[in-house]
Structure 1
Amino acid sequence: MNLLSVNNVGKAYRTYRSEWQRIANWFYIPTKASTEHWVLRNINFSIRAGEAVGIVGQNGAGKSTLLKMITGTLEPTQGNVQVNGRIAAILELGMGFNPELSGRQNVYHAAGLMGFSTEQISDVMNEIEDFAEIGNYFDEPVRTYSSGMQMRVAFAVATAFRPEILIVDEALSVGDSYFQHKSFDRIREFQRQGTTLLIVSHDRGAIQTLCSRAILLENGSVLKDGAPEEVMDYYNAIIAEKENSTVQVRELADGSKQTRSGSGEASIASVQLCAENGQLVEFVSVGDRVSLKIKVAINDAVPELVVGYVIKDRLGQQLFGTNTHHMKTVLTDLQPGEVIEYRFAFDANFGPGSYSVAVALHANDVHIGSNYEWQDLALVFNMINISKPEFVGVAWVPPSLEYSR
């Protein structure tokens, strides 16, 4: 069953030559706007019960506008949104809070607007206060709060009662690290209990950890809808390639989607993972010394070349990355026809499982700007534990142990 359906939704902001024309438009009397700016157009998707979906896109793509229409705080210009269940939303920081009221008073006000009675709110007030952890400030005016304190109270009240649909905008990014962990733990618990999640974030890790699907908005339209890793790889590519003209996606033999982009002055000729004896390896024992060999072909004059790589787990979360800029090894004034082979040697201190490597060729410290080539899934390898004591997780960080009695 679909808990949420967005059907051909669009939002336009219009200006009129006179207030009379604006009023006439309210009553569906045909009038022509002097200007019309569409923020969103032809948005279609649905979300099933229990699904977790991330909404990503650059600033101005229409993410916040879409969420406001889903929550009913903004009317679409065209199309409709169907919601089958109670929504709890955390959108703009402190939205709906009265700065002159205390945190406790604002909880009654905000939860009342969500449809809960005073008695219901009183029953969970202690839990909200304990979760927010702002001490005596809970009974002080909200105008005295920091942004992080506002976030704590807003999240605590929005999640005091488990909703069918939980919508979280970028607001969580203002919280401190401790409260972010605490908030994500509650979100995961809601997911286990069947809550549908819709989250907007620029945090790749949050999207890929929490979500089973991601939707990419670009210029007010849905550009891509699919697996989080595939969508985030594509998003990363279009950030580097503002005109999107060189972004390519191809399906590999195992069904995964590889994203490539770049202007082509330099290209990735090969990527190999080798054991200490130089042999190519696909399976690596935990802790073994390996070398990542990246061969680069220079196709046009390149004033500066930086080569970098990122190792990701099977969910696409970045575990480690570096580049030759950070390693103080930048080559300059390269000419067409040159071939350079880089060898990055490291101990493979990763846990058992499947991993991938993304490789980037660019100038400066990051690939945004002069992106010669970016290639996700350039290499896939598997870690196995042959000789190490049993452990869990994605990193091999064995401790020393001392104890006293």
Structure 2
Amino acid sequence: MSGTLFVQGVGKSYRRWESEWLRVASWLGMPVKPSEENWVLRNINFAIQPGEAVGVIGQNGAGKSTLLKIITGTVRPNEGHVVRTGRIAAILELGMGFNPDLTGRQNAFHSAGLMGYSQQEIEAAMPEIEAFSEIGEYFDLPVRTYSSGMQVRVAFAVATAFTPDLLIVDEALSVGDSYFQHKSFERMRRFREQGTSIMLVSHSLADVKSLCDRVILIERGEVLKDGPPDAVVDYYNALVAEKENAQHTIEQSRSREGWVTTRSGTFEVTVASLGFHDPKDGKKLGILQVGNEVDLVLEAEVRGEVPRLVLGYMIRDKQGHVVWGTNTWHTNQVVNGLTAGDRVIYTLKFKCTLGPGSYSISPALVSSDTHLDNNYEWTDNMLVFDVVNFDHPVFIGTNWLDAEFSVSRTRAAGELE
């Protein structure tokens, strides 16, 4: 059976009652009001179709964990309902409720049994669980001797030992080492190719972008955005900055080529122009060639009193992965004491070592090494450009290496050519 999930009008509140009698009366359906009511989720609606990978993002306290507990049935909603089909595997908390006095193997048997698998099925899968977790002799030692990363290894190995119809993963993987995170995401990608639905809750926006077909942004217990990963993740980044900056606005649009432009800031400083130029004659360049020298020129227009100005750049590929980035804070080139009417011209000289394909430039005009202090203007994907390869050997990837082969051959008689 394919895994589907329908969340319809779900709301959850935590209530305080003046007496236990009133609490019991509410359980019986009597029309009584609590003395205090705090809604952590309200009017949550979305669906996950078979084979779809959906990410859920939001700041701490937004209601993500409560939503997952409702979906998995460990918490009941006060309103709305959840419809699930197929077999569900979920990793919501570190250790999945492991008993610290039992071994990893014993906990694996227990957890898989709670998931509905028979003794025979678990015994057949145990060698794969042990191999995937890669904790060696610790698999037969008490879990209390495990590090948090080792617990995650066993928990994920158990949850994915049998191909589920719906896999739900919370932040647990974030405590694992980079090797196991990569290994786990490869398994999730394989599950998705096989038709498993995936729901991933993570603060790692790069992971969400790379794995998910869709992203849901939860803010203050409500669904604020539900759409393509690039649009929702960029909007979330701008929203975080908005909370730290007064008079902050967010604008978002999608070009015909499919790139999403997200512009946010207070706009005391804005980008007047941004483009590539040939360093030899200053002519504008629309397309870059692999290996050529190029100037990226940005002119900033100051519209108010700006004590300190920093320019940051991010170069992204078509999939939204950051290829390169830095800012003038890190290069010790901060501009101080600007007033309305001033202009600042930044020229970044570099050799194009990008691979053939489409890329974007995201400039940020801020006051320090982060956009959270003063975000004057941050525009994701402001400049989109293509890179072509005319005169270098064919290669793949997002980066060109200035490298060449050295080939030697030894004949059978031992004579070197």
| TM bucket, shorter chain | over 0.9
Q: Which residue of 1 aligns with 2:266?
A: 263
Task: Tell me how far 1:66 sits from its aligned partner.
Answer: 1.0
Name the SS for the 1:13 alignment partner.
Answer: strand
Distance 1:229 1:182 in 2: 24
Query: After the TM superposition, which residues 37-186 of structure 1 pair with which residues of structure 2 at under 5 Å, given as runs?
Result: 37-186=38-187
Distance 1:78 1:290 in 2: 59
Q: Pick from 277, 284, 294: which aligns with 2:288?
A: 284
Going from structure 1 to structure 2, the CA distance change for 1:394 and 1:255 (only over 3 Å counts) comes to closer
> Are 2:312 and 2:365, in contact at CA under 8 Å, matched by a contact in 1?
yes
Task: Tell me how far 1:164 sits from its aligned partner.
Answer: 0.9
Task: Tell me how far 1:187 sits from its aligned partner.
Answer: 0.8
One-letter amino acid of the structure 2 residue matched with residue 154 of structure 1? A
One-letter amino acid of the structure 2 residue matched with residue 121 of structure 1? I
Name the SS for the 2:199 alignment partner.
Answer: strand
Name the SS for the 2:66 alignment partner.
Answer: helix
Task: Tell me how far 1:251 sits from its aligned partner.
Answer: 3.8
Name the SS for the 2:382 alignment partner.
Answer: strand
One-letter amino acid of the structure 1 residue matched with residue 376 of structure 2? Y
Q: Which residue of 2 aligns with 1:246?
A: 249
Q: Pick from 329, 337, 354: which aligns with 2:333?
A: 329
Name the SS for the 2:333 alignment partner.
Answer: coil
Task: Tell me how far 1:229 sits from its aligned partner.
Answer: 0.6
Name the SS for the 1:247 alignment partner.
Answer: strand
* Structure 2: gaps (5+ residues): 411-417
List per-residue Cα deviations over 1:135-176 (Å, max 9, x = no partner): 111011111110000000000000000111111111111111
| Identity between Structure 1 and Structure 2 (%) | 54
1:302 and 2:302 are equivalent in the alignment:
no
Going from structure 1 to structure 2, the CA distance change for 1:238 and 1:317 (only over 3 Å counts) comes to same
Distance 2:269 2:247 in 1: 18
Task: Tell me how far 1:282 sits from its aligned partner.
Answer: 2.1
Distance 2:199 2:284 in 1: 42
Q: Pick from 344, 361, 366: which aligns with 2:348?
A: 344
One-letter amino acid of the structure 1 residue matched with residue 215 of structure 2? A
Task: Tell me how far 1:117 sits from its aligned partner.
Answer: 0.7
> Are 2:3 and 2:87, in contact at CA under 8 Å, matched by a contact in 1?
no
Distance 1:267 1:41 in 2: 38
Going from structure 1 to structure 2, the CA distance change for 1:224 and 1:244 (only over 3 Å counts) comes to farther
Matched residues, number? 405
List per-residue Cα deviations over 1:264-294 (Å, max 9, x = no partner): 1111111112233322222211222222111
Task: Tell me how far 1:245 sits from its aligned partner.
Answer: 4.7
Q: Which residue of 2 aligns with 1:274?
A: 277
> Are 1:51 and 1:196, in contact at CA under 8 Å, matched by a contact in 2?
yes
> Are 2:216 and 2:232, in contact at CA under 8 Å, matched by a contact in 1?
yes
Distance 2:258 2:354 in 1: 24
> Are 2:3 and 2:165, in contact at CA under 8 Å, matched by a contact in 1?
no
One-letter amino acid of the structure 2 residue matched with residue 150 of structure 1? Q
* Structure 1: gaps (5+ residues): none
- Aligned-CA RMSD value: 1.6
Distance 1:78 1:389 in 2: 62
Q: Which residue of 2 aligns with 1:212?
A: 213
Task: Tell me how far 1:256 sits from its aligned partner.
Answer: 3.9
TM-score (norm 1): 0.96
> Are 2:3 and 2:86, in contact at CA under 8 Å, matched by a contact in 1?
no
Distance 1:402 1:256 in 2: 41
Task: Tell me how far 1:7 sits from its aligned partner.
Answer: 0.4
Distance 1:351 1:256 in 2: 19
Q: Which residue of 1 aligns with 2:415?
A: none
Distance 1:403 1:131 in 2: 39
Q: Which residue of 2 aligns with 1:369?
A: 373
Distance 1:61 1:264 in 2: 28
Distance 1:123 1:44 in 2: 39
Distance 2:68 2:300 in 1: 44
Distance 1:210 1:91 in 2: 18
Distance 2:206 2:372 in 1: 19
Task: Tell me how far 1:402 sits from its aligned partner.
Answer: 5.4
> Are 2:248 and 2:266, in contact at CA under 8 Å, matched by a contact in 1?
no
Task: Tell me how far 1:250 sits from its aligned partner.
Answer: 2.9
> Are 1:326 and 1:365, in contact at CA under 8 Å, matched by a contact in 2?
yes
Distance 1:210 1:306 in 2: 33
Distance 1:92 1:308 in 2: 37
One-letter amino acid of the structure 1 residue matched with residue 250 of structure 2? V
Distance 2:158 2:403 in 1: 40
Distance 1:381 1:287 in 2: 15
Distance 1:346 1:316 in 2: 21
Distance 2:170 2:92 in 1: 5
Distance 2:201 2:293 in 1: 39
One-letter amino acid of the structure 2 residue matched with residue 249 of structure 1? Q
One-letter amino acid of the structure 2 residue matched with residue 134 of structure 1? I
Name the SS for the 1:180 alignment partner.
Answer: helix
Distance 2:321 2:311 in 1: 20
List per-residue Cα deviations over 1:157-200 (Å, max 9, x = no partner): 00000111111111111111111111111111111111111111
Q: Which residue of 2 aligns with 1:31?
A: 32
Q: Which residue of 2 aligns with 1:202?
A: 203
One-letter amino acid of the structure 2 residue matched with residue 125 of structure 1? M
1:9 and 2:10 are equivalent in the alignment:
yes
Q: Which residue of 1 aligns with 2:23?
A: 22
Larger Rg: 2
Which has the larger displacement, 370-379 or 274-283?
Answer: 274-283
One-letter amino acid of the structure 1 residue matched with residue 31 of structure 2? P
